[in-house]
Amino acid sequence: MPADLLFYGIRHHGPGSARRLVEALAAARPAAVLIEGPADASDLLPMLADPGLRTPVALLAYAEEDPAQASFFPFAEYSPEFQAARWAVANNAVLRFIDLPATDRLGERLAGAPEEALEEDEVSRDPIGILAAAAGYADGESWWSDVIEESASGLPVFAAVAEAMAALRAEAGPPSPREAAREAHMRLEIARAAKESDGPVAVVCGAWHVPGLREKRSHAEDRALLKGRPKAKAKLTWAPWTAPRLARGSGYGAGVIAPGWCAHLWDSHDAADRASTWLARIARVMRERGHFVSTASVIEAQRLGVALAAMRERPHPGFEELRDAAIACLCHGESAVWHDIAAELLIGADVGAIPEGTPLAPLLEDLQRQQKAVRLKPEALEKPLTLDLRSDSGLARSTLLHRLAALDVPWGRLADAGRSRGTFRENWVLAWQPEFSVRLVENLVHGATIADAAGARLAEAMRGEPALGPLAGLLRSAMIAVLPQAAEIGTALLETRAALTSDALALLAALPPMAEILRYGEARAGTAEHLAALMPRIAVQAALALPYAARNLDAEASSTLRDAILAAEAAIQLAQLDAETVAAWHGALATMLEDEQATQLVAGAAGRLLYEGEQIGAEAAAALLQRRLSPGIAVAQAAGFFEGFLAGAGQRLIHDAALRQAVDGWMLGLEEDSFVANLPLFRRVFSDLDRQERRRLMDAARGQAEASARGYRLLPGAAALWPAHEARIRALIEAGAPR
Amino acid sequence: MSETLRRPAEAIYAGELAALAAGDGDRRPPGWALSPRAVVTYLMGGAAADGTAISEKYVGDRRLIETAVATLATDRALLLLGVPGTAKSWVSEHLAAAITGDSTLVIQCTAGTDENQVRYGWNYAQLLARGPSREALVPTPLMRAMEGGKLCRLEELTRMGSDVQDTLITVLSEKMMPIPELNSAVYAQRGFNIIATANNRDKGVNELSSALKRRFNVVVLPLPDSAEEEVAIIVKRVGEMAQSLDLPAPKNVAEEVARVVAIFRELRSGSTEDGKVALKSPSGGLSTAEAIGVMVGGISQATFFNDGRLTPETLASNMIGAVVKDPVQDKAVLGEYLETVLKKRRGFEGYYAALTDQI
């Protein structure tokens, strides 16, 4: 005589059903608890009750041969499955997962089945959410408490759910082959457990499956459904999870829309003041963000929430009522303020932890595999390594090291840091530290393979990076580490942020890394194209913003801007942008040059760049210098322009006769007094040149170009003179020292 | 046929209101002519219990109207915010008409509004003849609303000086208005409440003091969601306005409206319609009402100076006037938009040329 079967159709990640489930289990005291989840992970289930475990965590299944093929099954504190497992461990009940083993899903994936085919369709995954949406609820949990718990008068909650699902399933079409196989597997497992168990057996599964699992089918029929399912060798373990990833997730219960709200529902139990505590939480988050929120406003929000619920004929103010009330009373009607706090309030920043003794983390395994593949051994002592990026093995090693660096595991350090792939050679210094293993395990949150985790981590850093320059730097890291997805995200972010900023410095700072990527990066075609379109736009934007940014700067700010402009000019030349963009850039430089209010140092630098870019002829440049340095201009102003124009361009003065003549002519024309007054400035400008260069400049200025390289030039008759000279030296050497 | 140019909402829609009241079995808050749900139906359109069709007064998000009505039902004052042309006054008038059957208790707030126009004034002849007394008092719409348990509407609240605004604090929190001259007070009857409207994008108006702000629940009425909806509203309004100004409407109005709306929406939303390029937004609101203004201005210019043809050149100067509110910042924003987006877009060459020319 098989044991009694108790079916609990739950809502994945539904705090409402989790609470009812715990109550029901406590009342029924089953001897076995069967949970919808990969059957081959049953051994890992008791770990859920380990005190070292902190939710959210995810069950991670990955293919042994290819860890990139991984599935996650996340659990939150308020997941009914998690609560059921905890109850079973605490009460010594048999505990088992009964769904198709993870090997099945991974096998299909390895066989190339598209991801969508593996996901449950939305109705069967969250039928309660769908019913709620149909009833005009944005939040399934509010619907659960309003409809399932309120209206199921007399009827136990789970019986009501099962009835509703039976009605729903009668309307739906036949399940997909995968769904049919899952239910067959679960039915067989349930039958087996019922035979073995000496007490009632509780089945905890998604509400949708209850009617299917209750169906009476012959075992032979079910076994036939399971024949020929694909298989892959799988490894299973727990991984720490985060609240933001719960909000996305994959596998069971994908998409908890608002983990923060669910956690609140769970934490507040059935308390009557649930709405007020939620509003108080909203108020607290808003105050932390610097918004002024009074207690009186919170009271008003509560009243408005109740009134709204009454008007919408709902027994309690739910998520939407409280949101609308909070916007009207606390955010002064601005939904932007709500969106500002929503991420913190609704998603939160919880990070889970896994107990010690959890099976080996896949990232470490992946690292070991890759170390073998690229033949690099971890050694604690520093060891230099030179890589030739033209060879496949060199590139593979470099990519691995760059990815690890992105994961904050700096196994290798670039000896000539700061240089990207301008050359085909990279010089690394390798040293493995033991704590790197720990860091790798921490990185499990980001993904199951080094590539996935590095990409996800970079993407996260990019999302949190407000400044354009560092963002472009991160994008370059993503490109170098061959992480196309992160690179795409970075490009999109760069685009948005660039559009929203009008800070010339920030825009200029983004140009050099972009130019390097475009010039040297091994970017995937799509991203490179996107970047190639984006860079001219940022350049044009910077050009538009420059003239305003160049006005009225102090010494420090102006030299910062000057440096940024010089770097941007180099980047624009390096990236070989189209003529139109370059014209816009030159236009901005010309505007700055002519702008009365522009800081002279910057104007001077603009003048020189235009001159070097052949936008100004030699004569015009001479006239320009003359005008800007004329006696009517205050010495400080003239000095700024002179410095801007010539600093770092001393070399140019040596070789460029026209420019030299202009400067020379201007200097000669200076009155004694003003020459003396400007002397410190001249010293400053020419102090960049070394002695040799200075002498050559002096010679050039004196018109003695012929003799400028004294001691290094052959005399005209040297060839003829040499044999006689050599003979005399030989004689001297052979004669030895004079006696 | 009435000679009145425009009758109040409760007179125009008397039939709908009567039908809704007749079939309204829900509980009504004290002093209300309809239940909250019936008020929402009146504004959003639908059908009364007896099948009378209720026209749609407000096109937009039902939740906003629900929040507004629920606010009034909790005897909190309601503040409707929004850029010009988002139907704030329209909604406030219809709310007052539906809830108390009287939308005429209005105070139009301006920079010149003083306390006497908000609280009460004096009939000086009476005052001199009999001294301070109730007979010498001239009640304002606010005072009459308090005494009659009606809704009082305050239009453009923030245009009134901050010190005058603060007169409302006692009225809102204690539901009474002291008359110290007579050593008495006016106590609000049940049903009394205030609906205020204000513009949240205008520069140069008075800030709402936080003491007062706290006493209002705020509902922000947004701009239309889709371009089609906005184009339709503008074409309709431009047609009406051109007619009342006796301007012949050029044939290509609809196409040009679509282009102007496209430009306005992109600048306003801060990204191109395809979502590919993010943009900066100018400091002004760029509301539907401003787009209407640009079109009407363009049409009048076309009629009198440009042999009736509506061209980008005739619209450009009006558009610049609408976009560039801050001569430095907004010019840079518009310049950037022209160079990075409009320059390469087909069909907008005329606008690019005309705007670049005139900016």
The full DSSP string for B96-124 is HHHHHS----EEE--TT--HHHHSEEE-H
B74·A537 Cβ contact <8 A: no
Pick the residue with more confidence: B59 or A396? A396
Q: Would you tell me the crossing angle of helices A259-267 and A15-28 to the nearest 10 degrees?
A: 40
CA dist A6 and A544 (Å) reads: 70
Chain A residues within 8 A of B37 when measuring between CB atoms:
311
Q: Which of A320, A335, A499 has the CB atom closest to B278's CB atom?
A: A499
Specify the pLDDT at position A338: 87
Q: Distances from the Cα of A39 to the Cαs of A44, A97, A589, B45, B51, in angstroms? A: 10, 5, 68, 54, 58
Specify the pLDDT at position B1: 44
**How many other C-beta atoms are found inside a 10 Å radius of the C-beta of residue B265?**
21
B67·A325 Cβ contact <8 A: yes
Q: How far is A545 from chain B (nearest CA, A)?
A: 8
> Is residue A401 a contact partner of residue A411, using CB atoms and an 8 Å limit?
yes
| Chain A contact for B41 (CB, 8 A cutoff) | no
In terms of residues, how long is chain B? 359
Among chain A residues, the shortest Cα distance to B269 is held by A500
Within the 156-215 window of chain B, which residues sit less than 8 Å (CB to CB) from chain A?
Answer: 210, 213-214
CA dist A636 and A648 (Å) reads: 19
B66·A311 Cβ contact <8 A: yes
Maximum mean pLDDT: which of A122-136, A303-317, A681-695: A303-317
Q: What are the two backbone dihedrals, phi and then psi, of residue A204, each rounded to the nearest 5 degrees?
A: -110, 110
Q: Which of A307, A333, A584 has the CB atom closest to B74's CB atom?
A: A307
Specify the pLDDT at position A705: 46
Return the beta strands (E) in A580-689 as ranges. Answer: none
Percentage of residues in chain A having pLDDT higher than 70: 88
For residue A235, the cross-strand partners are: A62
Specify the pLDDT at position A713: 55
Q: How far is B71 from chain A (nearest CA, A)?
A: 6
Chain A residues within 8 A of B29 when measuring between CB atoms:
none
Chain A residues within 8 A of B217 when measuring between CB atoms:
300, 304, 328-329, 333
B217·A328 Cβ contact <8 A: yes
CA dist B138 and A645 (Å) reads: 76
Percentage of residues in chain A having pLDDT higher than 90: 5
Among chain B residues, the shortest Cα distance to A328 is held by B218
Chain B residues within 8 A of A546 when measuring between CB atoms:
none
User: Whose structure tokens read 């002279």?
Assistant: A600
Q: Where are the domains of chain A?
A: 5-45+55-259, 271-347, 362-445
**Token couple for B113:** 């509004």
> Is residue A448 a contact partner of residue A362, using CB atoms and an 8 Å limit?
yes
Among chain B residues, the shortest Cα distance to A334 is held by B220
**Token couple for B88:** 């704030």
Q: Dihedral of CA B240/B246/B252/B258: which sign?
A: negative
Helix (H) or strand (E) holding A162: helix A157-171
Chain A residues within 8 A of B274 when measuring between CB atoms:
none
A312·B74 Cβ contact <8 A: no
Q: How far is A710 from chain B (nearest CA, A)?
A: 55
Q: What is the mean pLDDT of residues A323-347?
A: 85
Chain B residues within 8 A of A292 when measuring between CB atoms:
210
Specify the pLDDT at position B146: 94
Return the beta strands (E) in B151-302 as ranges. Answer: 151-155, 176-179, 184-187, 193-199, 216-220
| Chain A contact for B217 (CB, 8 A cutoff) | yes
Specify the pLDDT at position A153: 47
A328·B214 Cβ contact <8 A: no
Q: How far is B9 from chain A (nearest CA, A)?
A: 24
Please state the ipTM of this predicted complex.
0.75
B339·A584 Cβ contact <8 A: yes
- Residue A710 in this model has a pLDDT that exceeds 50: no
Q: What are the two backbone dihedrals, phi and then psi, of residue A234, each rounded to the nearest 5 degrees?
A: -120, 150
Q: Which of B70, B76, B219 has the CB atom closest to A311's CB atom?
A: B70
Chain A residues within 8 A of B332 when measuring between CB atoms:
502, 544-545, 548
- Residue A406 in this model has a pLDDT that exceeds 80: yes
Q: Which of A304, A327, A333 has the CB atom closest to B74's CB atom?
A: A304
Chain A residues within 8 A of B73 when measuring between CB atoms:
307, 311
> Is residue B324 a contact partner of residue B330, using CB atoms and an 8 Å limit?
yes
> Is residue A304 a contact partner of residue A325, using CB atoms and an 8 Å limit?
yes
**How many other C-beta atoms are found inside a 10 Å radius of the C-beta of residue A198?**
8
- In CATH, the number for domain B61-220 is 3.40.50.300
**Positions in chain B short of pLDDT 50:** 1
Q: What are the two backbone dihedrals, phi and then psi, of residue A527, each rounded to the nearest 5 degrees?
A: -65, -40
Q: What is the mean pLDDT of chain A?
A: 80
Between chain A and chain B, how many beta carbons pairs sit less than 8 Å apart? 91
Q: Distances from the Cα of A544 to the Cαs of A60, A425, A478, A540, A581, in angstroms? A: 51, 38, 29, 6, 11
Q: How far is A324 from chain B (nearest CA, A)?
A: 7
Q: How far is A598 from chain B (nearest CA, A)?
A: 16
Instruction: Give me the long-range contacts of A394-397 (CB less than 8 A, separation at least 24).
Output: A394/A426
Specify the pLDDT at position A68: 67
Burial zone of A363 (CB within 10 Å; 0-12 exposed, 13-18 middle, 19+ buried): buried
Among chain B residues, the shortest Cα distance to A309 is held by B70
Chain A residues within 8 A of B333 when measuring between CB atoms:
502
Q: What is the mean pLDDT of residues A89-114?
A: 83
- Residue A251 in this model has a pLDDT that exceeds 60: no
Could you report the per-residue pLDDT of A639-682, keeping only the tens digit for each?
Answer: 788 888 877 777 777 777 777 777 777 777 777 777 787 787 77
> Is residue B239 a contact partner of residue B299, using CB atoms and an 8 Å limit?
no
> Is residue A545 a contact partner of residue A502, using CB atoms and an 8 Å limit?
yes
Among chain B residues, the shortest Cα distance to A313 is held by B37
A333·B36 Cβ contact <8 A: no
Candidates A332, A333, A311; CA nearest to A321 is A311
Could you report the per-residue pLDDT of A157-213, keeping only the tens digit for each?
Answer: 788 888 888 888 887 777 888 888 888 899 988 988 888 888 889 999 888 888 888
Specify the pLDDT at position B180: 92
> Is residue A260 a contact partner of residue A349, using CB atoms and an 8 Å limit?
no
Q: Which of A294, A540, A544 has the CB atom closest to B214's CB atom?
A: A294
Q: Which of B220, B328, B332 has the CB atom closest to A544's CB atom?
A: B332
| Chain A contact for B69 (CB, 8 A cutoff) | yes
What pTM was estimated for this model as a whole?
0.66
Among chain B residues, the shortest Cα distance to A322 is held by B67
Specify the pLDDT at position A16: 83
